[in-house]
Amino acid sequence: MKRTPVFITALILSIGLQSGTVSALEDTSPAQRPSNAELDARIKVLIEKVKSSLRPLKGGTFEMGDWGTETGQYYDSETWSRPLHKVTLDGFSMMAYKVTYEDFDVFTDAVGKELINMDKVGIRDRAPKRPAGVNWHGAKDYCRWLGKSSGLPFDLPTEAQWEYAARSGGKRILFSTDNGKIERLRNFPEEWNGGKRPSLPDVGRYPPNPAGLYGMSENSREWVQDWFKADYYSISPFKNPSGPSAGTEKVMRGSTGGTAEIAAMVFMRTKAAPRTKQSSYALVGDYGKRIITPLPGYSGSYLDNFRCVVNSSE
């Protein structure tokens, strides 16, 4: 028996959630799981797609961080993006696109995990070609699984690799677009309309940067390998830095807050706990009590996206 396609299943669950007949956290039943042959075929297609999307970047040296304006002012108000420091990286290849929901669903089916963001809030942003909203553990496990499945050394990019790639080999450009500028609806998403947020665009919607990478300056952020430390740049090693050895929050790169253009400069940094949480309210007597709970499984905010790299110069 053929499995109901993932996004038809998502729609059914969404309708069920509206009526209260389906649990928000309900996993797919064994009858809905794909056969081994079907799953093997989907994995093969995914691996071939990912391989064809890899963009090689030659190793090199660049100055990482906020280089400031001609008048000596920093672009970033946060001190996290400085001091400017030299970094040398070995060559690597990066996926041209952020991992999409249809990609991540192959992974969760393959490892027997529940589909992400199937609750009535998360499902609104679910579409096959949109970037998958996952927590850091989901991003890390996906890249590792992809490595085992393909035989290639896949992993999350380090923060230095991400910035080097966003800057098309370390060039001094402010935005990772095709021309280094923001031009709404030509190379950057639309603005919020009257407080109503637009959905994230499908991957590949806007032109890539000169290195062939899509969406590195858009209205979302990407997980990287590194733990966050506010003063790490002052002690960062020169060769292939990979961040502090431990911490409580992971670095995220891309659009670091809101949808303003300034938040998407290539050296902007932000941080978040590896496991995404959500807030809800429970009625306690006559008062509402705010409850913070982790999102289920690998689920994350719709803004928390990622891509993988192959750590090889070939």
**What is the Cα–Cα distance from 53 to 31, expressed in whole angstroms?**
33
Question: What is the per-residue burial (b if ≥16 Cβ within 10 Å, else e) of 259-289?
Answer: bebbbbbbbbbbbbebebebeeeeeeeeeee
Reference 301, options 79, 46, 119; nearest CA is 119
**Cβ partners under 8 Å of residue 205, min gap 6:** 189, 215
Determine contact, residues 96/214, Cβ cutoff 8 Å. Answer: yes
Q: Average model confidence (pLDDT) for the chain?
A: 87
Q: Residue 6 has what pLDDT? A: 41
Question: 170-225 pLDDT, tens per residue?
Answer: 999 999 999 999 998 899 988 776 667 788 999 999 999 999 999 998 889 999 99
Determine contact, residues 83/65, Cβ cutoff 8 Å. Answer: yes
Reference 166, options 218, 205, 204; nearest CA is 218
How many residues appear in the chain?
Answer: 314
**What is the Cα–Cα distance from 269 to 76, expressed in whole angstroms?**
9
Residue 99 pLDDT exceeds 90 = yes
Q: Residue 276 has what pLDDT? A: 87
Question: 61-94 pLDDT, tens per residue?
Answer: 999 999 999 999 999 999 999 999 999 999 999 9
Q: Residue 9 has what pLDDT? A: 42
Question: 160-185 pLDDT, tens per residue?
Answer: 999 999 999 999 999 999 999 999 88
Q: Residue 30 has what pLDDT? A: 46
Could you give the dihedral angle defined by the CA atoms of residues 139, 12, 122 and 140, in that order, rounded to the nearest 10 degrees? Answer: -10
User: From start to end of 1-127, where are the E strands?
Assistant: 54-57, 60-64, 85-89, 92-95
Question: 155-164 pLDDT, tens per residue?
Answer: 999 999 999 9
Q: Residue 8 has what pLDDT? A: 38
Give the pLDDT band (50/70/90) at residue 281.
low
Residue 37 burial class via C-beta count within 10 angstroms: exposed 0-12, middle 13-18, buried 19 and up: exposed
Give the pLDDT band (50/70/90) at residue 150.
very high
Residue 14 pLDDT exceeds 80 = no
Name the more confident of 18 and 92: 92
Q: Residue 291 has what pLDDT? A: 79
User: What's the CA angle centered on 288, arms 283 and 291, to 5 degrees?
Assistant: 85
Q: Residue 180 has what pLDDT? A: 95
Q: Is this model's pTM higher than 0.85 or not?
A: yes
Q: What's at 218, amino acid-wise? A: E
Q: Residue 258 has what pLDDT? A: 57
Question: 21-66 pLDDT, tens per residue?
Answer: 333 333 444 446 789 999 999 999 999 999 999 999 999 999 999 9
Q: Residue 196 has what pLDDT? A: 72
Domains of the chain: 35-117+125-275+302-310 (3.90.1580.10)
Q: Residue 19 has what pLDDT? A: 34
Please give the structure tokens belonging to residue 275.
């496991």
Determine contact, residues 249/80, Cβ cutoff 8 Å. Answer: no
Residue 16 pLDDT exceeds 70 = no
